[in-house]
Amino acid sequence: MAHRRVAVLYQALEPPVINGVRKPKKPGGYQDSGADIAYVLKNDCQIPVISPVSSPNPAKDSDWCFPDTEDGILNAVKAGATHLWANTILFAAHPLQTSKGLTEHAELVSVVGQPPQLVEAYDDKALVYEIMKSHGEFTVAKSTTFTASDDVPNVIKSRDLQYPLVVKPVRGRGSHGVKLCKDEEALQAHARFLFDESPKIIVEEYLNGEEATVTVMPPSVSKPEGYWALPIVTRFNHSDGIAPYNGSIAVTANSRVVETAKYSQDPTYDRAARECEEVAALLKATAPIRIDIRRFKEGSEFALFDVNMKPNMTGPGRPGREDQASLTAIAAEALGWNYGRLLTEVLTSAQPLALVRKTNI
């Protein structure tokens, strides 16, 4: 990979309003994980990294990654980047998709990440639910959507939904806005809160069994034959029935890989992994995605309930970041991959910007 020169992009742009909904911007714009990626690629993997400053400080996130503005991306390319790692939230009007200044580089520069037009569509969790339901073979939680003008009790009754119910925004980030509501009063109160930032929300049945998550890797140079799932990571120590946000509690404190022996003892793990691979193929993912799954009750099948087009990619390597493994990094460890090996595998899935721009649903 000596000829590859990687520049990591972080989220500097405010996401646009899409169908009346603005996806909340992450504080810091993923600069922390962007710096993790760039530092480990450079220092552990010996892959040339282009950074905004000549001698980046390992403790300073902003030294390692470029803003995802048009100027920021062009600066990275002009500095010699051949690969842009889009560690940010993309959308159809993003400069990676629309910048005329990047057009002359579109055949020469590759992108690690999902196509912007695809992300804009599939960040709508209600749409992804409908896609999975329409294909019939996926096991999913019962759900519906609401607007502020809907009659909540009647809609819930007509959909045969029973309390407690999970209420969340259609374009969320992590566990932002996700709440378990035990009765109509709690649901109405939380719905009012969410309607302040979104004209539509999702209500879904509460799955009270084991929760886990599956990272699906896209086809790459090392595995060109298709989509494949990393080992499943099980989640525990929930807060009010919901897995806590990883910005407040490190996932290493409430997540662990499912032991290999359990796969042979319980075939539901393997079935869930295969379904997740099929979803990734259906959505034409070009980078890792992470799908959250949960049993309807203890011992039952897993249902797929949340598709994350941009999994968190923090990882250990930088000084003081030893406990910052992401769920995807934890899964990769079970294969014997350290964080650097995971990053190099993801890097091989990069696609030319020209192709990325053409990809749509």
Residue 312 lies in a domain: yes
Whether 318 and 240 map to the same domain: the answer is yes
Report d(CA 59, CA 49) in Å as an integer.
17
Whether 173 and 217 map to the same domain: the answer is no
Whether 326 and 230 map to the same domain: the answer is yes
Residue 237 lies in a domain: yes
Domain membership of residue 74 as a residue range? 6-113+352-358
Whether 254 and 289 map to the same domain: the answer is yes
- From 153, 173, 205, the end of a domain falls on 205
Whether 323 and 229 map to the same domain: the answer is yes
Q: For residue 42, which phi and psi values (nearest 5 degrees)? A: -75, -50
Whether 239 and 314 map to the same domain: the answer is yes
Q: What is the mean pLDDT of residues 318-335?
A: 92
**Nearest by Cα to 241 from 175, 168, 172, 180:** 180
3 state SS of 168: strand
Q: Tell me which of 106-110, 111-115, 221-225, 261-265 is least confident.
A: 221-225
Whether 242 and 315 map to the same domain: the answer is yes
Q: Is the peptide bond before 164 cis (omega within 30 degrees of 0)?
A: yes
- From 190, 205, 220, the end of a domain falls on 205
Whether 159 and 223 map to the same domain: the answer is no
Q: Does residue 42 have a pLDDT over 80?
A: yes
Q: How many domains does the chain have?
A: 3
Whether 201 and 216 map to the same domain: the answer is no
CATH of the domain at 155: 3.30.1490.20
Q: Quick one: pLDDT at residue 216?
A: 98
Q: What is the mean pLDDT of residues 14-37?
A: 89
Residue 118 lies in a domain: no
Model confidence at 95, in pLDDT bands (50, 70, 90)? very high
Residue 57 lies in a domain: yes
Q: What is the mean pLDDT of residues 134-144?
A: 90
Residue 135 lies in a domain: no
Whether 256 and 322 map to the same domain: the answer is yes
Residues 216 and 291 sit within 8 Å (Cβ to Cβ): yes
Residue 128 lies in a domain: no
Whether 312 and 229 map to the same domain: the answer is yes
Q: What is the mean pLDDT of residues 49-63?
A: 97
Residue 296 lies in a domain: yes
Which residues are within 8 A (CB) of 223 and not within 5 positions of it... i.e. 6 or more apart?
217
- Kindly report, residue by residue over 223-256, the tens digit of the pLDDT: 888 999 999 999 987 666 666 555 555 676 778 9
